[in-house]
Amino acid sequence: MNQSGGTAQDDLLRRAGEALARRDPQSAIGLLDQADRMGPTHHGFLNRALALRMSGDLQGAMAALDGALGIEPYDFTALLGKAAILEQIGQAQAAAAVYRNALKIAPPRERCPPALQAQMDHADGVVRRHAEALRDHMRAHAAALRQTVDAAALDRFDEGLEIFAGLKTAPTQEPLLLHYPRLPAIPFYDRALFPWLETLEAATPVIRAELEAMLADSFDQFAPYVAYPKGAPVNQWGELNHSRKWTSLWLWRDGARQDAVCERCPQTAALLESLPMCRQDGFAPTAVFSALQPHTHIPAHTGSSNVRLLTHLPLILPGPARFRVGNTLRDWKMGEAWVFDDTIDHEAWNDADEMRVILIFDIWNPALSEAEQTLITAMMQAHRSFMGG
């Protein structure tokens, strides 16, 4: 197209926009017809869609939006407009699907004007209501079969159903250091894999007694769990960085036994020595008393490597305290330990009016053989030496 043709088309599109601003869709359509003879444009399709929608021609407006999307498939406002028309003509499922696609490419809310934010909120509501209806439909269809599976399988099925419906996302491993392949992303592991959990749980009173002695005269030895140096990006840890809201006392740290603490907690140390902790020279085991002050939230985060799992044993629970891994939310209960994959997004809350303390230590992922554990350790040590320690 020559320069003069382009300028003439731009002028027609500008005048069409002015007609729309005056709420004169018929004049706008006439101008757009002239502009289209010089070649279709994305802007022209969008203005035609608006003009036709103002005229009550919803099918024509949707066809124009499809033309705009044919030129720019990731046009957020065109997708929103198409979904709104589908909703208006009673095609609820199709509207939800288009709204869902639009929301996937939505710009940051803070960059959007209030009117667009309202449209985004409406789209989110439509998508959620559609997903909830789909969930309820699938759940009702399978209701008679639920009694044929055990509680653990039913819990997994319910999560899978909500993921399939679009209400939840599948838990994924996001390790900060090593993502080892072909290990399952399981938020909480089956207790049957760890028969020693009963021994650990039975020792709760002994461990708690040693912990309470430390708390009584040495709580100042508990150090902030999060301690980024000055100038480092703290991201979600701003509130807890160098804060005594979340403190820790290490029994083992990066594979090194903390003798002074272990001597104060000899029965706890002996018990941990007898358990299958993850042993990697320079890396593991890690064993720590973790103290969380009242009404404190540990924000969502992930751990270092999926070759290990973490064990939690509650020791002081003055009131309600919650823990989420992936889509699964649990309450701590005295005398009950669990094993989880900390490379899956997880967070914790102490909702009580007093301090909560748990024991944390790491173990190998049970999917790994001893020979593979040795190989992995050698690989990680070589990585550290190559990177300069």
SS percent in the chain: helix, strand, coil, step 5? 50, 15, 30
Q: Tokens at residue 348, please? A: 């914790």
**What is the per-residue pLDDT for 124?**
97
CA dist 81 and 91 (Å) reads 14
As separate numbers, helices (DSSP H) first and strands (DSSP E) second, the chain gives 13, 11
3-state class (DSSP) for residue 322: strand
**What is the per-residue pLDDT for 193?**
97
Q: Contact 52/29 with Cβ under 8 angstroms?
A: yes
Phi and psi at residue 342, to the nearest 5°: -80, 0
Q: Contact 170/184 with Cβ under 8 angstroms?
A: no
**What is the per-residue pLDDT for 6?**
60
Residue that has been written with the tokens 């029965």 in this structure: 267
Closest CA to 293 of 203, 232, 215, 217: 215
Per-residue pLDDT of the chain (389 residues; tens, 9 = 90+): 444 446 899 999 999 999 999 999 999 999 999 999 999 999 999 999 999 999 999 999 999 999 999 999 999 999 999 999 999 999 999 999 999 999 999 999 999 999 999 999 999 999 999 999 999 999 999 999 999 999 999 999 999 999 999 999 999 999 999 999 999 999 999 999 999 999 999 999 999 999 999 999 999 999 999 999 998 999 999 999 999 999 999 999 999 999 999 999 999 999 999 999 999 999 999 999 999 999 999 999 999 999 999 999 999 999 999 999 999 999 999 999 999 999 999 999 999 999 999 999 999 999 999 999 999 999 999 999 999 85
Domains of the chain are 3-134 (1.25.40.10), 191-386 (2.60.120.330)
**What is the per-residue pLDDT for 7?**
84
Pure H helices in 56-196: 58-71, 76-88, 92-104, 114-141, 151-165
CA dist 361 and 255 (Å) reads 11
Q: How far apart are the first and last CA of the chain?
A: 62
Name the pTM for this structure: 0.87
Residue that has been written with the tokens 């909830």 in this structure: 132
CA dist 374 and 389 (Å) reads 19
CA dist 350 and 355 (Å) reads 8
Q: Tokens at residue 340, please? A: 């989880």
Phi and psi at residue 190, to the nearest 5°: -65, 130
Q: Contact 311/278 with Cβ under 8 angstroms?
A: no
- Letter string b/e over residues 118-140, b meaning 16 or more CB atoms within 10 A of that residue's CB: ebbeebeebbeebbeebbeeeee
